[in-house]
Amino acid sequence: MNPIYLEIAVVVLGLLLLAAESFAGPGRKSGIAHPAITGLILVFVATFWIDPLAMDVTAPYARFYSADFLAVFFKQLALLSTIVVLIMAQEYAPVVEASLPSSRRGAGLGEFYALPVFTCAGLMWMASAVDFVLIFVSLELVTISFYILVSYMRQDRGSLEAGVKFLVLGALSTGFLIYGITWIYGVTGQTNLHAIAAVIPALKHAAAPALLFGLGLVLVSLGFKVAAVPFQFWVPDVYQGAPTPITAFLSVASKAAGFVVLLRVLQAFVVVPYLQEKIMLLMAILAGITMVFGNLAAIPQSNLKRLLAYSSVAHAGYLLLGVASLGAPFAGMAVLFYLGAYLIMTLLAFLIMAVVSKTVGGDDIADFNGLNQRAPHLAFAMLLAMASLAGVPLTVGFLGKLFIFEAAFQQGHFVLIALGIVTVASGFYYYLKVVRAMYWQQPADPEAPEIPVGVAARLTIAILCALTIWLGVYPAPLLSLIR
Amino acid sequence: MSPLLSLILIPLVTAAFCMAGSAPRRISLFGAGANLLLTLYLLASYNLEIGGYQFVGGRLLAPFYGLAFSLGADGLSMVMLLLTTLVTLAAVWVTPPINRYAGMFYACLLLISAGAIGAFVSTDLFFFYAFHELALVPTFLLIGIWGSGERQRIAWKVTIYLATGSFVLLLGLIGIWLAVPAGLRTLDMRILQQLGVAGILSPGPAVYLLLLAGFGSLIALFPLHSWAPEAYASAPAPAAMLHAGVLKKFGLYGLLRLAVPIFPEEIQQFAGLLLILLLGNIIYVGFVTIAQKRLDLMLGYSSVMHMGYAFLGLVALNQIGLAGMSLMIVAHGLTIAALFALCGEIGSRWGTLEFAKLGGLAAGAPKLGLLFGFAAMASIGLPGFLSFPSEVLIFFGAFAQGVTGGFNIYQTSVAFALWGVVISAIYMLRAYRRIFWGGRGVAAVDGVGDVSCAVRWAVILLLAALLVTGFRPALLLDYINPVFDYFAP
């Protein structure tokens, strides 16, 4: 099957959902979540029949669009995270509804389910983009739908504040990106990454500063997307303010897409040694400061969303460490494996958080006090997520870190590894804070009612838990997906 | 599949039952007992004439990395299994009634046991490491939920300490793996050992130091020991028994498994450093132990102190010393488990462990006094208990090292280390006197009664094992000696 039909299917699904949403009665708009989830699951299943070789490489669109294994893997990640985010959104709907203007209550939820589908299409295009033009367009599709989603809870100050911050900084990063692309185009005369890679070796040495400047600007913009230090400052506020499912979406899918673009762009530029040296040094420095800052800043957090925001910065650091070690044989695979692992455990953590905070009414760590007594299964699932995020062996998060550190070891990044060890230890500290709250503290109200969990959410939690352990012991299936 | 898999699965399944169902105590006693019997059966059916790794089985998991779930046990693993299952049964047995989440308490104990067993029978480097880490999580929960004193701060400290140590260790393991010549690259520890003995695999001093720091912080090598006494003092008695008795021994086992065959030159190169550190364990921590005013802290420090002897066996690097170190692992594991069991009993009956408040307990509780006396003698290393042959072998081994070169650092260190026996006699006998003899302390009220039936039999089980192997160490040495045949003169 030709891979371009995947995105077309997702966009058509989104349009149909919007149409259905506008014809549905005011009380029934949230019903469109089911066809959205079902449709995306069908597309997800279809990705396994994609034959990257079936694409016609002479077709005009092949200049922009590539469907290699990397792209297919990221499409699967994007689809999977969108599906889980929609399930999470269903769980979280009452909270969103409560913060909509009262006249529109129950009527305004339709777009909350339809917009992530468009974001998903953008992410899938990003995975395939091999031309700066398509990179830019798909990135904007993703970002603009996120602007709306982040500030969706219109009567919630936090959500609005997050939306404005995200808008301003997103626009700024877009500016960097487009300006960088212009410089690169000015030097090379190309926007296609393959063509750029072909042109660079023939360039005069004098063109190098301009090229590096352009690339630097692009990297700044990507730094915003993947939340690398020092471009991370929007992360905590936006993550905290946005509706929880959207936060999960931002931290997983947006980061994954940022990394696929980063991998592709770097691939085009490391073709000559003097560029490669500089880029890898830059990546190593970024990795170091991101790991240290993300982990240290997470330690004092008392709000779980903010904690996960900084942890998302920290994980970007480990991923960058993998990117900085790309010279090692399995480094690319290590980065992809880490992204897959990160997706599973982060979605699990956010899903439980969405379920719990809907009932408890807050997402401070203190709100999880004594969760073990109220909902032992949820507490255990959260324990798994935290253990995996911290990197306890026999969970998928540990294997991710192991592969990354191994690649770094082979590349001789010993300083970074030492930093990594220290930061992993501090990671244990703040992730276990959540475990402590759930298992050691007494609940604020011992007679609190049970926490209701929907069937789909229950099933998803179970699947994600199983994946966390199963892939942590037997990583071969995920590794074979990455190839 | 290997019968060793059932040794891992029995505690795991039992733990699952404990979490889910009622009567966790009965179920876990049954599981721990079944595991001990199975281990005895395997010990009997291990073929000593063939030796080497037996009961092997496995399955390849990730072809890229050569990652496989493979099990196998040689003489050393078999002895470790015996230690683990004995202490597990005793720990489950002495567990007092738990009023909060009893099922989870027993499940945590069994998980530690399963993790330790898994580490001792894994022949794959990854699972060797991962099983040990698996056992650290329940340790954290046990101290954090059911501990005493400043349990949360201490659980925290222990976790950070051990997690950091583990990651340093992990780096060392990666270093070993990367040093294997590319065509032979494998995670199979059996092959790694053979390559090391053959001299093909030599990762260099940096990796050895990583390994030493990693394992060292898990074993509480001076000066990385500060987590241990507090942790054991705060942990509930069964958890302290399992951790000090079994899980901490993972580090020593790992050194025997990896450092000895792969890094013989480095061990000798850094022998001076290690000798100074282990004397820190024996002498410095020994004096700290004497100064303790509470029984639980004193036992915690004493367990740190005894690790010095084990390192002395390592640094001796000959068959006598290494065999002594292996015996030491078992002897210390059984002894400290018995002592922590009795310590927990004293604490729960008289409500305090401070020497100043206790005293004259033997009048009301003669059986408890007798058992404690035996355990204290075992800890000091009196002949008749396994501790004695193990210490003798270690001292002989270390003294024999480089004996032609006059009175060298090894012999000097042995001369200092021998004082450790005196030091441990001082603190143990003083503790024994202050708790059980002399005038009555304020806490020693009448009518408390003697040691409970469960604790009595569990401790008798441990002491009996110590006595039987103490009178006939060949029972264990027959298994252990062939492992270090490559050091035979």
Residue of B64, B168, B170 with shortest CB distance to A479: B64
Identify whether A458 is part of a domain.
yes
pLDDT value of residue A391: 87
Q: Does A406 touch chain B (CB under 8 A)?
A: yes
A425 close contact with B: CB closer than 8 A:
yes
Segment B229-236 mean pLDDT: 89
The pLDDT score that the predictor gives to residue A366 is 87
Tell me, yes or no, whether B332 and B259 share the same domain. no
Residue B189 has pLDDT above 60, yes or no: yes
pLDDT greater at residue B21 or residue A180 = A180
The tokens describing A217, both together, are: 């600007």
Is residue B441 over pLDDT 80? no
Q: Are A405 and A428 contained in the same domain?
A: yes
How many distinct helices (H) and strands (E) make up chain B? Answer: 24, 2
With CB atoms and an 8 Å threshold, state whether A409 touches B140: no
Q: What is the token pair recorded at B356? A: 């100043």
Whether B446 shows a pLDDT value over 80: the answer reads no
Q: Which residue of B has its CA nearest to A436?
A: B144
Q: How far is B460 from chain A (nearest CA, A)?
A: 34
Higher-confidence residue of B103 and A25: namely: B103
Q: Residue B461: its pLDDT value, please?
A: 92
Check whether A107 has a pLDDT greater than 70.
no
Q: Is residue A173 part of a domain?
A: no
Are residue B245 and residue B107 in the same domain, yes or no?
yes
Choose the mutation target among A384, A386, A392, A415 for the interface with B, i.e. most B CBs under 10 Å.
Answer: A392
Give the pLDDT score at B489.
56
Q: Are residues B248 and B291 in the same domain?
A: no
CB–CB of B178 and A409 under 8 A?
A: yes
Shared domain for A259 and A315, answered yes or no, is no
The Cα B363–Cα B375 span in angstroms is 19
Bridge partners of residue B294, in order along the sequence: B354
Predicted confidence band of residue B121 (pLDDT cuts 50, 70, 90): very high
Is residue A472 in some structural domain? yes
Using pLDDT thresholds of 50, 70 and 90, give the confidence band for residue A106: low
Q: How far is A332 from chain B (nearest CA, A)?
A: 13
Query: Amino acid identity of B246?
Result: V
Do A252 and A327 have their domain in common? no
Which chain A residues touch B114 with a CB distance below 8 Å?
none
- The residue with greater pLDDT, A399 or A1, is A399
Query: A162 and A149 in contact (C-beta within 8 Å)?
Result: no
Min distance B156 CA to chain A CA atoms (Å): 7
Q: Give the pLDDT score at B374.
A: 92
Place A103 in a pLDDT band, splitting at 50, 70 and 90.
low
A259 and A389 share one domain: no
Asked which of A48-57, A247-256, A472-481, B454-463 is least confident by mean pLDDT, the reply is: A48-57
User: What average pLDDT does this structure show over B274-279?
Assistant: 91
Task: Report the alpha-carbon distance of residue B331 to residue B389 in Å, rounded.
Answer: 9
Q: Is B18 on the interface with A (CB under 8 A)?
A: no
A324 interface with B at CB cutoff 8 Å: no
* Whether residues B317 and B264 fall in one domain: no
Task: List the 108-127 stretch of A: residues with Cβ below 8 A of B.
Answer: none
pLDDT of amino acid B90: 93
Query: Does residue B405 share a domain with residue B307?
Result: yes
Q: Are B309 and B203 in contact (CB under 8 A)?
A: no
B427 & B482 share domain: yes
Same domain, A123 and A246: yes
Q: Alpha helices, DSSP H only, in A325-375?
A: 331-360, 371-374
Q: What is the DSSP letter of A62?
A: G
Q: Nearest by CB to B174, which of A333, A409, A436?
A: A409
Check whether the bond before A230 is cis (ω within 30° of 0).
yes
Residues B332, B218 share a domain: no
Tell me: do A247 and A344 sit in the same domain. Answer: no
Q: Using N-to-C axis directions, what is the helix angle for A110-128 and A33-47, rounded to 10°?
A: 20
Question: pLDDT band at B96, cuts 50/70/90?
Answer: confident
Q: Do residues A132 and A17 share a domain?
A: yes
Lowest-pLDDT choice from A441-445, A461-465, B234-238, B300-304: A441-445
Which residue carries 């990640």 as its tokens? A77
Query: Is B62 close to A432, i.e. CB distance below 8 A?
Result: no
Contact B163 A440 (CB under 8 A): no
Whether residue B249 is found in the same domain as residue B143: yes
Least confident of A5-19, A91-105, B299-313, B331-345: A91-105
Per-residue pLDDT for B300 more than 70? yes
What is the pLDDT, as a whole number, of residue A102? 67
What's the average model confidence in pLDDT over B33-50? 89
Residue B354 dihedral angles phi and psi, to the nearest 5°: -80, 130
Q: Do A1 and A146 share a domain, yes or no?
A: yes
Nearest to B160 among A392, A429, A479 (CB): A429
- A393-412 pLDDT, tens digit per residue, is 888 998 899 889 888 888 88
Residues A257 and A344 in one domain: no
> How many CB pairs lie under 8 A apart between chains A and B?
77
Name chain B contacts of A442, Cβ cutoff 8 Å.
Answer: none
**Mutate which: B59, B100, B126, B127, vs A, most A CBs within 10 A:** B126
Enclosing H/E stretch for B255: none
Radius of gyration (Cα) for chain B, nearest Å?
A: 21
Look-up of token digits 């389910």? A113
Least Cα distance to B33 among B110, B138, B99, B97 occurs for B110
Residue A209 lies in a domain: no
Domain boundary among B269, B294, B316: B269
Would you call B199 exposed, middle or buried from its count of C-beta atoms within 10 A (0-12, 13-18, 19+)?
exposed
pLDDT at B64 over 80: no
Give how far the C-alpha of residue B164 lies from the chain's centroid of Cα atoms, to the nearest Å. 20
Task: Tell me what percent of the residues of chain B surpass a pLDDT of 70.
Answer: 97
d(CA B189, CA B170): 14
B51 touches chain A (CB under 8 A): no
Do B235 and B289 lie in one domain? The reply is no
Two tokens, residue B133: 């880490």
Using the structure block, give the residue that is written with the tokens 């049970």: A450
The average pLDDT across B264-284 equals 89
Answer whether B167 sits within 8 Å of A432, measured CB to CB.
no
pLDDT above 90 (res B481): no
DSSP letters, B55-114, are EEEEEEEEGGGTEEEEEEE-HHHHHHHHHHHHHHHHHHHHPPP-SS-HHHHHHHHHHHHH
Domain count, chain A: 2
Would you say residue A214 lies in a domain?
A: no
Per-residue pLDDT tens digits for A12-39: 999 999 888 888 776 677 778 888 999 9
Q: How far is A427 from chain B (nearest CA, A)?
A: 9
pLDDT band at A254 (very low <50, low <70, confident <90, very high): confident
Q: Are residues B34 and B138 in the same domain?
A: yes
Q: How far apart are CA A460 and CA B24, in angstroms?
A: 30
Question: Nearest CA of chain B to the CA of A378: how many Å?
Answer: 15
Would you call A417 an interface residue with chain B, using a CB distance cutoff of 8 Å?
yes
Name the phi and psi angles at B83, rounded to 5: -60, -50
Q: Residue B84, class by beta-carbon neighbours within 10 Å (0-12 exposed, 13-18 middle, 19+ buried)?
A: buried
pLDDT reading at B40 higher than 70: yes
Residue A195 resides in a domain: no
Instruction: Tell me: do B47 and B190 sit in the same domain.
Output: yes
Instruction: Name the residue range of residue B73's domain.
Output: 1-269
A303 CB near a chain B CB, below 8 Å? no
Determine contact, residues A256/A78, Cβ cutoff 8 Å.
Answer: yes
Give strand pairing partners of B58: B70
In a domain? residue B274: no
Type of residue found at B485: D
Q: What pLDDT is stored for residue A104 in this prediction?
A: 58
φ, ψ for residue B202, nearest 5 deg: -140, 95
Which of B142, B167, B176 to mutate to test binding with chain A, by most A CBs within 10 Å of its CB?
Answer: B167
Of A205, A264, A254, which is closest to residue A228 (Cα–Cα)?
A: A254
Q: Report the pLDDT value the prediction gives residue B188, as an integer from 0 to 100.
A: 85
CB contact under 8 A, B61 and A439: no
Nearest to B164 among A330, A403, A425 (CB): A425
The verdict on residue A87 lying in a domain is yes
Q: How many CB atoms sit inside 10 A of residue B352's CB? A: 17
Do B289 and B263 share a structural domain? no
* B432, B343 Cβ separation under 8 angstroms: no
Query: Which residues 114-153 in chain B show a CB within 8 A of chain A?
Result: 126, 129-131, 133-134, 136-137, 140-141, 144-145, 152
- Do A127 and A67 fall within a single domain? yes
Give the pLDDT mean for B424-445: 84
Give percent of chain A above pLDDT 90: 40
- Tell whether the model's pLDDT for residue A436 goes beyond 60: yes
Report the distance separating Cα A192 and Cα A215, nearest Å: 14
Residue B150 resides in a domain: yes
Comparing CB atoms, the residue among A424, A474, A479 nearest residue B167 is A424
pLDDT of residue A322: 92
Q: Report the mean per-residue pLDDT for chain B.
A: 87
Contacts of A422 in chain B (CB under 8 A): 164
Supply the range of the domain harboring residue A301. 280-483
Q: Mean pLDDT for chain A?
A: 87
User: Do the chains contact at B133 and A392, CB–CB below 8 Å?
Assistant: yes
* Of A165-174, B145-154, B259-268, B335-344, the least confident: B145-154
β pairing state of B54-62 and B67-73 = antiparallel
| pLDDT at position B184 over 80 | no
**Interface contact A483, partner B, CB < 8 A:** no
Is B256 a domain residue? yes
Domain boundary among B206, B236, B269: B269
- Residue A404 in domain: yes
Return the H-helix or E-strand segment holding A258: helix A255-269
A457 with A348, same domain: the answer is: yes
Residue of A nearest to B175 (CA): A409
Do the chains contact at A406 and B174, CB–CB below 8 Å?
yes
Nearest to B178 among A410, A429, A432 (CB): A410
Query: Which residue, of B243, B269, B295, is where some domain finishes?
Result: B269
Number of structural domains in chain B:
2
Q: How confident is the model at residue A245 (pLDDT cuts 50, 70, 90)?
A: very high
User: Residues 6 or more apart from B250 whose CB is under 8 A from it?
Assistant: B116, B119, B120, B132, B135, B218
Q: What is the pLDDT of residue A347?
A: 94
Query: Which tokens sit at A429?
Result: 């500290």
Same domain, A353 and A464: yes
Are residues A393 and B129, on separate chains, in Cβ contact within 8 Å? yes
Query: Tell me, what's the ipTM?
Result: 0.70
